[in-house]
Structure 1
Amino acid sequence: MTDAISSILSQIRAHEMRAGGLRGDVAPSDAIDVGGAGKAQQVPGFAETLSNTLDKVSATQARAADLQQAFELGDPRADLARVMVAMQQSQVAFRATVEVRNRLVQAYQDVMNMPI
């Protein structure tokens, strides 16, 4: 369980590094000229990134539920292996989301407990 979360967090960090060091905490209104082509690229903010991630987790859970229901109804395209893989993917995504939430809450509490 912990290894899966560590793996997901390392994947997030690797993706962040591939993005060229662009940070989600930059204000969304800041435009960055990429490659001198004259086109500005919007850097997504933290709230937008979090919202997109939650949407993807929700979609993964809905897909797993749809596959499970199709398997229960006898759909030949929904074999047991695909259903189990989809259910495990949704479970890992949900656990990673809960872990990120827990870390955000802990960080918030740490900041609020700092002396002024």
Structure 2
Amino acid sequence: MTAARDEAEAHVRAAVPDAGPAPADIALLYTWMRTRTEHLAPGRQRARDQVIYRQGLEAAIAVGDTAAVRPHPCPACGCVGLFWQKARQAAVCVNRHCRDQDGLAHAWTLARLAHEHVARTDRLKSAAT
């Protein structure tokens, strides 16, 4: 949890050096991140949202909730139902036809899933307006 907190604070300070002190209460950290970076360009806000989302996935995996990756569509084929493969430290596609150049099931980092999730959310928001 300390590493996640340090990463989140460093992410904010890289964009906003005078962001003020980060809250001592970890529950308020992501609110602090959002409020201190809400004026940044959309790309920087997406990067912030990716950090927040990835850290949420990492926390879920750390406590054994590997089902947290299941609702994410595979970035290669779009199938829903990824599963966590501990040995690869990655979410793996269940589609037997979805293979990489080595013939292995496509595997995705939590960072990639966070990137795809935030991008998909942004597309949905812009389509809704």
TM-score (norm 2): 0.29
TM-score (norm 1): 0.32
RCO comparison, higher one (Cα < 8 Å, 6+): 1
Q: Which of the two has higher C-alpha Rg? A: 1
